[in-house]
Amino acid sequence: MIVFRIFDIGRVIVKISLDDLTKVGPGTLAGRYLRTFWIPVFRSEDLALGASKPIRILGEEFTLYRGEGGRSHIVAPRCAHRLTRLHTGRVAGDGISCLYHGWKYDGTGQCTFQPGENAEFTRNTKIAAYSTQEYLGLIWGYFGEGEAPLLPKLSDFERPGLLTTATPEYWPCNFFNRIDNAPDGMHVLFTHQESTSRDGKVVENLSVDELPIMESAETEFGVETKIQFGNLTGYFQFLMPFANILAATVGRLEGPADAPRAWRAEIHFRVPVDDEHFVSFGVVLIDLHGEEAARYLELRNEERQRVANPEGVADFFGQQVLAGKMRISDMDPELGVRYTFQVEDYTVMVGQGAIPDRKKERLGLCDKGTALIRRVWMRELQALADGRALKNWTVPVGLVDKTQPQPSIAMAD
């Protein structure tokens, strides 16, 4: 059942429904809520010195550039003069100049140079600019009103070890398609039968008694889902507003079977590009050091060189499967378990539709975690609409240690 609640804000009646979870543009409830958080927008290693990029986040366009001194900046998408796209211009020093007539802006959006214009006109010209920080290999932006809060730290990912950032994944569906999956331990047994079988673990033909038992609860950081599968107890951790943490001890990380075996923790941020697209940014910490870490990176690079367009594997094969032109089992085994795992997730989540009609869903007992995340989100949107205080979410140190190894999950990196 979908519950609609009506709140009286002065003379304005606001009706909140599940549909509000999917709308992220300026002025929408979910959009306003997300803009109270720092948002990862780009991978640091993909923005070179002096480079500028157009980015789309939360249904808005922006210009991202890195000054020659190394600092990244986010400013408005267009020059204030004749509104051409600013990312096509030139980065000089810590500013960016428009390709059309050379108007230059600094990282605060202030215009600092206008050929042929007087100083007062220049001083009175300014475009929007946004607070920017870099952390854990990602560039973060704050797009909310007022002064930006402190960027929350994820101390578990500051531990010694090999820290890598996954290639960003852009998928053609709403970000809540992916969020709904965060606590869903049941889908692993069915969606990922092909990838787990390729990894030597067969999970098909399970009896009811062998299915996992799942319980979910709200925490100080979001929603924790406890999963009991036989004698194994595991946890899926969802961090408000759109991240999830996984941890596992895995064997064949990349390449041959004798590749290093190591514990690893991952956090994935499912960031809305707009209502019908999202991007995943992943940070992976692997307990490898020195020569073992170097060997892992070597094996990973070798694998990626064997695959044409490794960044586009999930999208290409996922679309082929959705179009009925192939099945996941038809994928070349040489692509590796990791790619098969990504295609499986892509197929079921993008296959729901860009924005699913959730009024037609039939959630059951196995969907407790998904239902709880939606209720928490709805409650926070209710508070925002009602002008009341929002919950202050905090991530405790040691969360990844509680997130016990999961059975045969091939994690993306």
Token output for 84? 């051409």
Per DSSP (E only), the strands in 28-77 are 38-43, 52-57, 60-66, 72-75
Distance of CA 320 to the CA centre of its chain: 24
Distances (CA, A) of 49 to 45, 64, 69, 111, 135: 10, 12, 8, 21, 17
Residue 186 exposed, middle or buried by CB count within 10 Å (0-12, 13-18, 19+): middle
Return d(Cα 314, Cα 68) in angstroms, integer.
35
Rounded CA separation 92/67 (Å): 7
Most distant CA pair in the chain, distance: 79
Please list the pLDDT of the chain residue by residue as tens digits (413 residues). Answer: 344 444 444 445 677 889 999 999 999 999 999 999 999 999 999 999 999 999 999 999 999 999 999 999 999 999 999 999 999 999 999 999 999 999 999 999 999 999 999 999 999 999 999 999 999 999 999 999 999 999 999 999 999 999 999 999 999 999 999 999 999 988 888 898 888 887 776 655 555 567 778 899 999 999 999 888 777 778 889 999 999 998 876 654 454 445 566 788 999 999 999 999 999 999 999 999 999 889 888 888 887 777 777 778 899 999 999 999 999 999 988 777 888 989 999 999 999 999 999 999 999 988 999 999 999 999 999 999 999 999 999 999 999 887 755 444 333 44
Locate all alpha helices (DSSP H) within 136-289, ordered by sequence.
175-179, 186-191, 193-198
**104: which strand partners?**
97, 113
Termini Cα distance of the chain: 38
CA-nearest of 241, 240, 262 to 252 is 262
Give the DSSP letter string of 181-196: TTT--HHHHHHTHHHH
Q: What are phi and psi of 398, to 5 degrees?
A: 90, 10
Cα of 37 vs its chain's centroid, Å: 13
The set of residues, in sequence order, having a beta carbon less than 8 Å from that of 201 and lying 6+ positions away, is: 407, 408
Q: What is the residue type of 186?
A: M
Site of tokens 């990791």 = 338
Instruction: Determine contact, residues 74/95, Cβ cutoff 8 Å.
Output: no
Q: 369: buried, middle or exposed (CB in 10 Å: 19+, 13-18, 0-12)?
A: buried
Helix (H, G, I), strand (E, B) or coil at 332: coil
Using CA atoms, how far apart are residues 356 and 366, in angstroms rounded to an integer? 19
Cβ(44)–Cβ(140) below 8 Å: no
Cβ atoms within 10 Å of 177's Cβ, excluding its own? 22
Q: What is the pTM of this model?
A: 0.91
Whether the upstream peptide bond of residue 149 has omega within 30° of 0, thus cis, is: no
Q: CA-CA distance, 288 to 160, in Å (whole number)?
A: 9
Angle between helices 313-322 and 337-350 (to 10 degrees): 50
- The per-residue pLDDT for range 120-171, each reduced to its tens digit, is 999 999 999 999 999 999 999 999 999 999 999 999 999 999 999 999 999 9
Rounded distance between C-alpha atoms, residue 31 and residue 387, angstroms: 15
Hey, is 92 helix, strand or coil?
Answer: strand
**What Å distances lie between residue 400 and 20, 135, 244, 281, 326, CA to CA?**
31, 18, 11, 18, 37
> Which tokens belong to 126?
């300014």
Rounded to 5 degrees, what angle do the CA atoms 69, 70, 75 make?
Answer: 100
pLDDT of residue 11: 43
What is the per-residue pLDDT for 205?
Answer: 56
Give pLDDT tens digits for 346-373.
Answer: 999 999 999 999 999 999 988 999 999 9
91 bridge partner residues = 96
Look at the alpha carbons of 367, 371, 372, 374 in this order and tell me if their dihedral is positive or negative.
positive
Residues 6+ apart with CB under 8 A from 308: none
Distance, in Å, from the CA atom of 381 to the CA atom of 5, rounded to the nearest integer, reads: 11
**Per-residue confidence (pLDDT) for residue 9, from 0 to 100:** 43
